[in-house]
Amino acid sequence: MYLSSHAQTHRGAVRKLNEDAFLELPQLGVWVVADGMGGHAAGDVASQLVIDTIQQAVESNPADQISTELLIQALQQSNAKLQQMSETQFAGNIVGSTVVVLWIKDDHYTLLWAGDSRGYLLRNHKLQQITKDHSQVNDMVDEGVLKAEEAESHPLANVITRAVGVDDTLNIDVKSAPILVGDVFLLCSDGLNKEVSDNEIEKALQPGNIIDAGMALMHASLVRNARDNVTCILVKKNSLENNTTMTDHDATIPVFT
């Protein structure tokens, strides 16, 4: 199995500090986006702690021992560390981060998440959002009191209901399914999807070059004066036969499982 990936982050056009962080480990089949919670204490510290904890967990184990359980355990450890940090360093103020993790092994992908950082899949030129936002407005949509198209502009759009470090117990959603040649995954903080619609994301991913697509998405968010930090990771599954047609800068790394 051959995977290529491209990751980038930007503080955006308004924020003075980038509270997003990401992890890109294609040789282990692991990618992560973490978004420190704006308006709370030390969002940048929280997101980086989540990234560091996951990285330490996966790099301290052989690749064949990485599992969904290991990733969940790393997220739970992150939650406990942030809870302790809140009490000892930030006078009980919330130190939290949303997170979305992509893990690919044995022709299957697994997405794990808490909060509103998203995971998308482009398959056969069609984009679908695999993750489901843990947010107040999404709960309202599920309850039928708010239309989906009204969610993004609702006054409560920024209120999330789940994140690492917020509660004593962290509930993590997990989805797993087979991966196909040509699949393209997008992990992003909400700073991207606040500025760029799903239709625009789908169009940007169509050509198939993930570096060009990633640059286009970042550019689209920044020219609209991105109000939040913007982070995106693109991951593509390539076939051996297609490797010779890839651009030189679209690095492909073999993942042995």
Over residues 112-123, the pLDDT tens digits come to 999 999 999 999
What is the mean predicted confidence (pLDDT) over 195-220?
Answer: 95
The domain segmentation of the chain, as residue ranges, is 2-254
Write the DSSP string, 207-243: T--HHHHHHHHHHHHHHTT-SS-EEEEEEEEE-GGGG
pLDDT at residue 248 in the model = 34
Statement: residue 209 has pLDDT above 50: yes
What is the mean predicted confidence (pLDDT) over 22-28?
Answer: 96
**Structure token digits, residue 224:** 């609209």
Q: What is the CATH number of domain 2-254?
A: 3.60.40.10
pLDDT at residue 38 in the model = 64
pLDDT at residue 118 in the model = 97
pLDDT at residue 92 in the model = 87
pLDDT in tens, 29-46: 999 999 998 666 689 999
Statement: residue 148 has pLDDT above 80: no
pLDDT at residue 254 in the model = 38
pTM of the model: 0.90
CA 206 to chain centre: 20
For residue 210, give every residue at least 6 positions away whose Cβ sits within 8 Å of its Cβ, in sequence order, or none.
4, 5, 6, 184, 234, 235, 236, 250
- For residue 219, the tally of other CB atoms under 10 A from its CB is 12
Rounded-to-integer distance, Cα 82 and Cα 96, Å: 7
